[in-house]
Amino acid sequence: MQKITPFLWFDDQAEEAVRHYMSVFDDSRIVETQRYGEAGPGKAGTVMTIAFELAGQQFIALNGGPHFTFNEAVSLSVDCATQEEVDTLWARLGEGGEEGQCGWLKDRYGLWWQINPRRLTELLGDPDPVRAGRVMKAMLQMKKIDIQALVDAYEQ
């Protein structure tokens, strides 16, 4: 087990969310499922926690009730090698959710994701502040990141 594992609090959709996420990412699996017993607080026999992996990264999902919800203060950042990967993840994770700015989206379970093309990081890290600034300005106008538009701004 990894030393630090993100722990995700869902109302009662942990299993549904995990199965959805596993359908989106390769190299994903459920590691262990624990169910509530007679002592509760959830209904006996229902899913309490699910330990799972997405692309080799471990997580734990909890059906903890409606007491807490996700917000933008914590998000999952996904490194994407190509525009095709950005487009696919944006569409799959965004189904039933909402688009945010600058590559952020909220999925149908309320969890926030950053769909980040590797090229964005490279262009923003350019030592030329003018070029990097043009990339930043272009990115700030986007919802889903468009790599070619970033490159165009960079080369302007």
Report pLDDT digits (tens) over 76-129. Answer: 999 999 999 999 999 999 999 999 999 999 999 999 999 999 999 999 999 999
Whether 110 contacts 70, CB under 8 Å:
yes
- This prediction has a pTM of 0.93
Fold of 70-156: 2,3-Dihydroxybiphenyl 1,2-Dioxygenase; domain 1 (3.10.180)
- Spatial separation of the C-alpha atoms in residues 4 and 103, rounded to whole Å: 25
Q: Which residues contact 24 (CB under 8 A, 6 or more apart)?
A: 54, 89, 92, 93
Fold of 1-68: 3.30.720
Amino acid at 154: Y
